[in-house]
């Protein structure tokens, strides 16, 4: 009898774990109509208990974003992209529209259950399955075929805690005008200078907070996968669902890890354009200078600096390629910068402290260089349209900030980014094939035009020397 019981449970679990396209499940929660289950609080005893309706999540089908990112980055097979996951990670993956705070609250209140199949041998018809639910904790690991259940009223709670909706048409039109590319898994933007990427103290609007504007009628808001400084502009990538965001975020981490180990061409490539004060000694090169965080004398502010020693855990390796585009007689230089690693403020510190050429408009790492700042004269030949200033939504402004201004804006722009085709990669990962080959995965290239203040500085520097 024990053998028959084990075989029954194994067949039920194997059927539940059969591979299915993930997109069938992640669109949202589905309430099993009329699916009443007996909640006995995890007890194995009988009794009527409390009969409730539950929301049934899809059977657990593991997918490791880190392993998938490694396979995509290195162009190999994706057989290692599957692994176990915790209960809270599976709930967040299946219910991307639910706020993280609500998911954590459900686990704290013990409202998340897992199926526990038992076999009733007392029935005259032989073995019958009984479904009993047992509480599951957030860090419990799942195995393929496990099914989690949430209270049916969770849909109402989720709606109550959704991100606020935006009704200003001008703001929505402006945000959507930033889009360079959009498919079912990612959105690529040309981030304007002055727009914060994340919220914080004193920040009312940010890309992260405004991301629901990029969607129309979707319950899931796009997620950040990397960062750009507030005053930096250019290519910024968002994941349109939790899985694509997790894989993209892991690819960015993988890029940094691989760059420290070897110098092979990377699947993720970024090119920045910067205007710096001064002229590098060499027309091109590779900067290898580790960075560490230091606290300023006021005891409150922090900044990064080049650190010669590597004996502390706070020191991070940082690699940057550079190439001179053009040197100007006024003492400025246009550079192309290719970050191999993705450290905070890496390009700004390397330009200021390693090359000795701080970026124009960088008052954090080039403060001393700007103390004697003298704006260049505005040539009469400049197009008047480039000189017009106007206000934009969210407190942004268009115009000004060039080298002809008393206080120029930061002249650092992410001009180009080359990414693997994440949508194609995800389609392969979600197929029933045991091995996923990414060696022929197409690469996508995205280019963001320079912001107005940098285009104006280019024209000024070209005209002044004539």
Dihedral sign computed on CA atoms, order 85, 91, 97, 100 = negative
User: Tokens 């539950």 belong to which residue?
Assistant: 54
Sequence-distant (6+) residues with CB within 8 A of 45 are none
| Nearest CA among 56, 427, 16, 113 for reference residue 243 | 427
Cα dist from 148 to 12, 90, 246, 430, 438, whole Å: 15, 9, 21, 20, 32
> What distance in Å separates the CA atoms of residue 270 and residue 414, rounded to the nearest whole number?
7
User: What's the DSSP call for residue 312?
Assistant: S
Q: Please check whether residue 222 is in contact with residue 179, taking contact to mean a CB–CB distance below 8 angstroms.
A: no
| DSSP code per residue over 360-426 | TT-TTTSHHHHHT--PPPPPTTS-GGGG--EE-GGG-EES--STTSSSPPP-EEEEEEEEE-HHHHH
| DSSP code per residue over 70-125 | HHHHHT-B-TT-----BHHHHHHHH-TTS-HHHHHHHHHTT--EEEEEEEE--STT
> What distance in Å separates the CA atoms of residue 52 and residue 37, rounded to the nearest whole number?
6
| Residue 462 half-sphere exposure toward CB, CA atoms < 13 A | 8
User: Tokens 């960062």 belong to which residue?
Assistant: 227
What is the gyration radius of the CA atoms in the chain, in angstroms? 27
Q: Residue 324: which H helix or E strand, with range?
A: strand 319-327
Q: Residue 174: which H helix or E strand, with range?
A: helix 169-176
Cα dist from 296 to 26, 83, 299, 303, whole Å: 46, 44, 6, 7
> What distance in Å separates the CA atoms of residue 112 and residue 29, rounded to the nearest whole number?
14
Question: Among all residues, which ones are annotated catalytic?
Answer: 229
| DSSP code per residue over 426-444 | HHHHTSS-SS-B-TT--EE
> What distance in Å separates the CA atoms of residue 59 and residue 47, rounded to the nearest whole number?
27
């Amino acid at each position: 009898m024990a053998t028959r019981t084990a075989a029954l449970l194994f067949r039920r679990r194997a059927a539940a774990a059969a591979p299915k396209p993930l997109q069938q499940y992640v669109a949202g929660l589905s309430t099993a109509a009329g699916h009443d289950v007996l909640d006995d609080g995890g007890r194995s005893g009988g009794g009527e208990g409390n009969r409730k309706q539950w929301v049934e999540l899809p059977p657990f089908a593991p997918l490791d974003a880190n392993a998938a990112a490694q396979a995509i980055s290195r162009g190999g097979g994706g057989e290692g992209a599957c692994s176990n996951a915790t209960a809270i990670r599976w709930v967040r993956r299946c219910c991307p529209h639910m706020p993280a705070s609500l998911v954590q609250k459900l686990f704290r209140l013990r409202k998340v259950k897992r199926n526990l199949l038992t076999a009733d041998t007392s029935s005259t018809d032989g073995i019958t399955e009984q479904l009993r639910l047992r509480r599951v904790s957030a860090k419990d690991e799942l195995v393929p075929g496990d099914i989690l259940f949430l209270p049916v009223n969770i849909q109402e709670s989720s709606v109550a805690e959704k991100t606020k909706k935006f009704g200003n048409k001008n703001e929505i039109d402006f945000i959507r005008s930033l889009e360079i590319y959009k498919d079912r898994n990612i959105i690529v933007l040309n981030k304007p200078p002055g727009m914060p990427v994340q919220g914080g103290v004193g920040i009312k609007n940010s890309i992260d907070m405004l991301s629901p504007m990029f969607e129309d009628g979707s319950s899931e808001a796009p997620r950040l996968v990397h960062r750009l400084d507030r005053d930096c502009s250019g290519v910024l990538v968002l994941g349109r669902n939790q899985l694509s965001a997790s894989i993209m975020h892991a690819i960015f981490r993988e890029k940094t890890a691989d760059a420290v180990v070897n110098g092979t061409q990377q699947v993720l490539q970024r090119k920045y354009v910067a205007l710096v004060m001064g002229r590098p000694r060499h027309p091109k090169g590779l900067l290898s200078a580790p960075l560490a965080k230091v606290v300023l004398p006021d005891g409150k502010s922090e900044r990064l600096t080049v650190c010669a020693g590597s004996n502390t855990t706070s020191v991070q390796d940082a690699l940057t390629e550079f190439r001179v585009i053009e040197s100007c007689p006024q003492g400025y230089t246009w550079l192309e910068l290719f970050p191999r690693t993705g450290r905070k403020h890496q390009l700004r510190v390397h330009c200021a402290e390693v090359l000795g050429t701080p970026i124009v408009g960088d008052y954090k790492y080039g403060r001393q260089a700007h103390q004697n700042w003298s704006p260049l004269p505005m040539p009469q030949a400049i197009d008047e349209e480039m000189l017009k200033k106007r206000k934009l939504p969210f407190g942004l402004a268009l115009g000004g900030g060039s080298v002809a201004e008393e206080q120029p804006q930061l002249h650092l722009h992410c001009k180009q980014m080359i990414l693997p085709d994440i949508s194609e990669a995800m389609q392969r990962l979600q197929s029933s094939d045991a091995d996923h080959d990414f060696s022929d995965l197409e690469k996508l290239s995205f280019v963001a035009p320079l912001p107005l203040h940098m285009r104006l500085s280019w024209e000024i520097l070209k005209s002044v020397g004539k």
